[in-house]
Amino acid sequence: MDIGAALTIALVAALLGQVWAAQVRLESQLRWLSAALLLNAMTLPAAMLLFGDSNTVFGLAAGFIAILVASASGMGALIWLYRIEKLGQTNIVNTINATPASTPTESTSTASPHE
């Protein structure tokens, strides 16, 4: 692949990711994390492409497992995204965006509340 093209693609994708992620609110992070995970499912077609022409035992084994785990990962992320959206996180985001009191403030915490 042309290095210039690769760098341009990488730069544009990184910028796009930065623009979107910078505006994600804490309460909708879960949805975005599932979506980012789903993007990784693009490995699946690459695995299928190489596996189709694989002819060594180790290659076949690696390819079989790769397709299995890539499809499981993609499908799993899709299921969670469905469940999260079904429970109406979109509505929350909209409601909160309309509420001035919900403006996030910088945390000065000293311990993780994920405990």
Partner 1 sequence: MLRLPARLPNQRVQPARMNDMNLGLALAGLLMLIGLQRMHAGRHAFPWFATGFGAAVLVPILLGGGENQLLMMSALALGLGLAFILGLISTLSHLPARLALLHGLAGAATALVAGMAMLEQLLEPGLTLGLANLSVLLGAFSAAGAAVAHLRLSHLLPHVLRHASQSWIGVVLLLCTLVLGGLLASGMKVHILWQMSFFILATLSGIVFSLPLAEREAPLAASWLGVLTGLSMALLGIALELAPLLATGILSAALTLILSSELGRQVNMPLSKLLWGARATASEAVTEPAAPERPMTLEQLALELEQAQDILLIPGFGCIAAEGCDELVHLAKRLSQRSTQVRVLAHPLAGRLPGQLALLLRESGIDESMLIEHWSGEQPIPALTLSIGAHDLINPQRANADIPNLSILEASAKVVLILTQTQGFSGMDNPLLNDTHVYVLQSDARGGLEQLNQRLKPT
Tokens 């596996």 map to which residue? 51
| Count of residues that interact with partner 1, criterion CB under 8 A | 101
Chain positions 72 to 101 lying near partner 1, rule: CB under 8 A, are 72-85, 87-90, 92-94, 96-97, 99, 101
Give the shortest CB-57-to-partner 1 separation in angstroms. 9
- Shortest Å distance, C-beta 8 to partner 1: 10
Q: What residues contact residue 77 under an 8 Å CB cut-off, 6+ apart?
A: 34, 35, 37, 38, 40, 41
We find the least distance from the C-beta atom of residue 93 to partner 1, in angstroms, to be 5
List the x/- string, 22-61, binding to partner 1 by CB under 8 A. Answer: xxx-xxxxxxxxxxxxxxxxxxxxxxxxxxxxxxx-xxx-
- H helices of 22-88, in order, are 29-39, 43-52, 57-86
Measured from the CB of residue 73, what is the shortest distance to partner 1 in angstroms? Answer: 4
CA distance 9 to 15: 10
Whole-number CA gyration radius for the chain: 20
Question: How far, in Å, CA of 52 to CA of 22, rounded?
Answer: 40
